[in-house]
Chain A
Amino acid sequence: MPESLSAQVAVTGLGCICPLGNTPEAAYSAYARGDTGISLLAEPWAETFKSRIGGLVKLDMVAELGDYLVSRLDRFSQFALLASRQAWNASGLHNSGLAPERLAVVMATGIGGINTMLEQHQRLISGAKRLHPLGIAMAMPNAATAQISMEIGACGGAHAPVSACAGGAEAIAWGLMLLEARKVDAVLVGGAESAIHPLAIRGFSEMRALSSRLDDPASSCRPFAADRQGFVLSEGAGAIVLERLEDARARHADVQALLMGAGMTSDAHHLATPHPEGVHAARAISLALRDADISAQDVNFISAHATGTRIGDLAESRAIETAFGASIQDLWVTAPKGALGHLLGGAGSVESVLTIKALQAGVVPVSVNSTPRDPEIGLNIPTASEPCLVHLSQRFAIKNTFGFGGHNVSLVWASA
C-alpha cells in the first residue's frame, strides 16, 4: 500500500441512473450478469433512421421528482439530480455539520439541455407566442450542477466541465484536485447526459460513429470486436461523493473505495478523431499512475473507454500498450459500453460507479459483445467464456475516458 494513501481521497457515496438500472446496486447487478440496456428506439421519428438503437433510462420522472422539477429541469438535469440524491444520502454528510462553504459540486455534461433547447426552438419556428421563461436556464450545461448545489446547499463552488465524452471523468479529476488543494472538504462529482434526440442521433450517424446493427440491438455495441461498427447512444447520470480519507475516517463514514489519482491530457490533433497512436491518451494513463503513486504492475484491470468505433478502440488499445509496456501481460481490459452504451458526458462517472462496485466485488466484469476479438487489438479481454476474478487485498483499476476534441482523462480507483 503506498505511503501517500492517508492523503488520498475516499468515496463515501455513489449514485447511478442508467439503462442498466437506477441505483448503483441495480446497475452493477445487471452489469455483472452480462445484461445490456440497449434496445431499438420505438419513437416514430426514429423509424426511417439507419441507426435507431439506444440505451434508455426506464423511470417515471414525475413520480421521482414531481411536476415542478420535471417542468423546470431538462432531462439531463433530472438524471443528475436523482443520481446526486442517491450519492448524497449515502454519504451521510447531510448530518455531519459540514459548512456549506466547504462543499462543492462538479457535474459535467457533454451536450447539456439539448431536449429543452430544441423543444423551445420548435415552439419558436411554429409561431408560438410564448417560450418557456426558463428555457435558456434549463438548457445551459451548468443547469444540473446549479440545481444540485441548491439541493445539497453547496456554496464552495458549482462547476460544469464540458469536454464531450471525457466530462464525467474530468469532473471527478477536478473534485480530486479541489480536495488535494484543500479548497473544500467534500465534493459531489459526476456527469449526466440525455441526448437521445433525432438531431443527436442523425448528427452522430452522419459522422459514421453509430452502430446500425438493427437485427440484434442488444449486441449492437461491440467494443474491441472485429465486426464493430460504432457506438450506441445512451442516457443517464452518475454521481460520487468524495472526501479526503482522513476526514471520512474521522467522521466514521462508510468508505466505499479510494480515488488514488488522475491524469488529464489533450491531443491537440483533431476535433473528432483521437490521435491514431494514442500518444497523449497513454500519457494520461501514465500521469494517473504517477499521481496515484502506483506502478503499472499494481493495476488489476482497466475499464476502457472503448465506444465500439474502429478508430477509437484501436487508438485506446495502442495507448494502453504504450503506457503498460511489458506489464500488459497481466492486465485485464474490459469495456462497459457493450452493456451500457455511451452516455457521452455521463460515461466517465457511471462507468466509474460500475468500476468501484466491481472492485468491491473483486471481479473484472465481462466485456460484453467483445468477440470475435479484433486481431489488431492485443489486450486481455474477459469474456463470458473467459471470466476473471481478482484475488487481492488491495485492488486497483483504471477508468479511461476520452472525448471529441482530444480530451483524455484516466482515473485510478482502489478498493477501500
Chain B
Amino acid sequence: MDTSAMTDDQIVSQIAGLIRKCVPDAQAVAIGMDSRLVEDIGIDSLGAYELIMEAEDLFHIEITDSQVEGIKTIADLIAIVRGPIVQGPNA
C-alpha cells in the first residue's frame, strides 16, 4: 500500500484494522496517534510481533528489529511507515 498520498488519519484507520486482528476486544478501544500499544491498547508481546508482520505485509515495508524496539505508540509506527524504508520482498 502506497502511503505517500494518505493522511495520518487514513493510516491510523488502516493500522486500527490490523490491531483488531492482534488484540481481543480492540473494537472497544479508541485508537489514535497518541495511543500507546501496551498501556492503552493492551497488546501483548505476540500481538505486537503479529502487528509488525501485518504492517510489513500491508505497507510493503521491512521493519528492522532495532526499529521494532522503538515502537511504543501508533505515531511511532506511522513514522516508520512514512519514513525512509527498506523495500521488503513483497514490494
Across the interface, A129 reaches (CB within 8 A) one of B21, B46, B56, namely: B56
CA gap between A133 and B52 in the complex, in Å: 11
Give the segment of B7-15, B22-30, B32-40, B77-85 that binds chain A.
Answer: B22-30
Across the interface, B53 reaches (CB within 8 A) one of A67, A126, A127, A132, namely: A132
Residues of A within 8 A of B24 (CB): 68
Residue of B with least CB distance to A131: B53
| A134 interfacial by beta-carbon distance below 8 Å | yes
Q: A68-B26, A128-B90 are in contact. Are A133 and B20 (CB under 8 A)?
A: no
The answer to whether A133 and B49 touch across the interface, beta carbons within 8 angstroms, is yes
CA gap between A71 and B23 in the complex, in Å: 10
CA gap between A400 and B26 in the complex, in Å: 44
Across the interface, A68 reaches (CB within 8 A) one of B22, B53, B56, namely: B22
Interface of chain A: mostly helix, strand, loop or mixed: loop
CA gap between A132 and B22 in the complex, in Å: 11
Q: A129-B89, A130-B53, A132-B53 are in contact. Are A68 and B20 (CB under 8 A)?
A: yes
CA gap between A209 and B24 in the complex, in Å: 41
| A44 interfacial by beta-carbon distance below 8 Å | no
CA gap between A107 and B21 in the complex, in Å: 25
Give the tally of cross-chain contacts (CB within 8 A): 39
* Tier of interface size on chain B: 10 to 19
Cβ of A67 to closest chain B Cβ, rounded Å = 4
| A66 interfacial by beta-carbon distance below 8 Å | yes
The answer to whether B20 and A129 touch across the interface, beta carbons within 8 angstroms, is no
The answer to whether B49 and A66 touch across the interface, beta carbons within 8 angstroms, is no
Across the interface, B62 reaches (CB within 8 A) one of A71, A129, A134, namely: A129
Residues of B within 8 A of A127 (CB): 89
Residue of B with least CB distance to A134: B46
Across the interface, B21 reaches (CB within 8 A) one of A67, A126, A128, A131, namely: A67
The answer to whether A129 and B88 touch across the interface, beta carbons within 8 angstroms, is yes
The answer to whether A130 and B52 touch across the interface, beta carbons within 8 angstroms, is yes
CA gap between A26 and B61 in the complex, in Å: 46
Residues of A within 8 A of B88 (CB): 129
Cβ of B13 to closest chain A Cβ, rounded Å = 14
Residue of A with least CB distance to B54: A71
Cβ of B29 to closest chain A Cβ, rounded Å = 12
The answer to whether B26 and A134 touch across the interface, beta carbons within 8 angstroms, is no
Q: A130-B49, A134-B50 are in contact. Are A71 and B22 (CB under 8 A)?
A: yes
- Which positions 1-43 of chain A face chain B at CB distance < 8 Å? none
Residues of A within 8 A of B50 (CB): 71, 132-134
CA gap between A40 and B23 in the complex, in Å: 37
CA gap between A70 and B25 in the complex, in Å: 13
The answer to whether B22 and A126 touch across the interface, beta carbons within 8 angstroms, is no
A residues apposed to B, CB below 8 Å: 66-68, 70-72, 126-134
With A68-B22, A68-B23 given, name 5 new contacts (CB 8 A). A66-B27, A68-B21, A127-B89, A130-B56, A134-B46
8 contacts between A and B (CB under 8 A): A67-B20, A68-B23, A68-B24, A72-B21, A127-B89, A129-B62, A130-B49, A132-B50
B residues apposed to A, CB below 8 Å: 17, 20-27, 46, 49-50, 52-53, 56, 62, 88-90
